[in-house]
Amino acid sequence: MADAEGTLIPRIPVGDAVETVFDWVTDNFEPVFDAVSTATEWTVEGITAGLLVLPALVLAALLALLGALVRSVGFAVASFAGLLLVISMGLWTQAMQTLALILTAAVIATVIAVPVGVLAARNPRVSAVVKPVLDFMQTMPAFVYLVPAVVLFGIGLVPGVIVTVIFALPPGVRLTELGIRQVDQEVVEAGHAFGSSPWQVLRGIQLPLALPTIMAGINQVIMLALSMAVIAGLIGAEGLGSEVTAAISRLNIGQGVEAGLSVVVLAIYLDRLTASFNSGGGLLGRARARRDLEPVEPVTTTTA
């Protein structure tokens, strides 16, 4: 085939090669995919059922209370008002389905991202391999992930979780690696000088000092998981994403706005909540600060 300049360039069948690979993987690893599908579906449905056991108003109040404990009373009031709006629009069940999907995907992504980020920070060769993979994952259009997920897992909840994990993974790895690398090397060397093993240095020095950056990465994982969970509605994942998809297919502006507002409420709540876990704010942070400031009674000793 000829390009715009008139030269002949042979076509490289990249797509055909990828399809061949996926056909081989599907034929040879079908039991593995079935096991992953069963475990993922059981987990998400179990979390959804747990969230829906309590009445909507009670759970909304508990979530607002969590916001007060972690962040502030004002945030709790605003959160409760937003959750009441979701309930009033009749989208509470869909919001909890989306929340269950996000929690599952975020936990899986974090469990993968933090160890990979730590390994990349401690091994330059691993970092050299991981960085281009992360670049590929972050620059690939989100909708492209839907196709292979459907090929491997079919239509429904499971491919939605899988694509959400893949899409949300990169910032967790990058910020974990960044946090470990930013730890003062003099502190690390001091730990080694006192006879600490590499694992003890990692656990006692590097991870605690890198925790704010790692938490920022987890926050971004959750935000990306929420955005992808909505897109996953296109491949049958239940929740607010399916409401958005239905609104697009029917050109129903009202349904789309209501689903979008529910996504916004969830996004703001999760963003502010996770951003506050390491800040020492909220009622818990104030109680901890007061406890730390309490005067310590001097220890008196008696002599015979």
Bridge partners (DSSP) listed for residue 137: none
Rounded to the nearest 5 degrees, what angle is found at the Cα of 184, between the Cα atoms of 179 and 190? 130
pLDDT at 201: 84
Assigned token pair, 87: 């309930």
* Angle in degrees, 0-180, between the axes of helices 92-122 and 207-231, rounded to the nearest 10: 140
pLDDT at 192: 79
Name residues of the chain where pLDDT drops below 70: 1-7, 277-304
Q: What domains can be seen in the chain, in order of their start residue?
A: 15-53+89-279 (1.10.3720.10)
Residue 114's closest CA among 40, 174, 188? 174
Q: Whole-prediction pTM value?
A: 0.83
Assigned token pair, 273: 């909540």
The C-alpha atoms of residue 225 and residue 165 are separated, in whole angstroms, by 7
pLDDT at 17: 82
The tens digit of pLDDT for each residue in 88-130 reads 998 999 999 999 999 999 999 999 999 999 999 988 899 999 9
The C-alpha atoms of residue 156 and residue 27 are separated, in whole angstroms, by 20
pLDDT at 293: 53
pLDDT at 148: 83
pLDDT at 304: 44
